[in-house]
Amino acid sequence: MAYANKSIASRIEWCRRQSTQACAPLEIAGWRAEAEGLQDALLGSDHTTQYQQGPPRVFERYATGLQDGRSVLRADAVLHQFGPPARTATHGMGNVNMLGLTRHVKKIVGRVSSHRA
């Protein structure tokens, strides 16, 4: 979860920076709404009904932040539950990202190497 929290926090900060550079009031409100949606995802909150009362574009930005934040948290939970962390291995063909498939990849690389000889 640490990676997901860090990733979402980074995006919240990015949204906040974007809101300080925006000129139009709706654009500023949109960036702030997206940041709040991300924050709500982290905190397990939901202010959807509150945002539904405002401008549709601002509501869309809040919903985007909330959905994206929840998706990152779900993906992180699935990775931690069902698979070991990704490892990087080299075997004569550069870096290969693997999710617990070391033996399978070694068999394939062995077959390919024996065909080259």
User: Per residue in 18-69, pLDDT tens?
Assistant: 999 999 999 999 999 999 999 999 999 999 999 999 999 999 999 999 999 9
For residue 91, the enclosing domain spans 87-116
Contact 34, 15 (CB under 8 A): yes
- Structure-token match 């139009």, residue found: 24
**Which element (helix H / strand E) includes 98?**
strand 95-98
Contact 51, 59 (CB under 8 A): yes
76 and 91 assigned to the same domain = no
53 and 12 assigned to the same domain = yes
pLDDT in tens, 86-103: 555 554 444 444 444 444
For residues 62-88, average pLDDT = 83
Alpha carbons 111 and 117: distance in angstroms, whole number: 10
CA diameter of the chain: 70
92 and 78 assigned to the same domain = no
Q: Total structural domains in the chain?
A: 2
pLDDT at 88: 52
pTM for the structure as a whole: 0.68
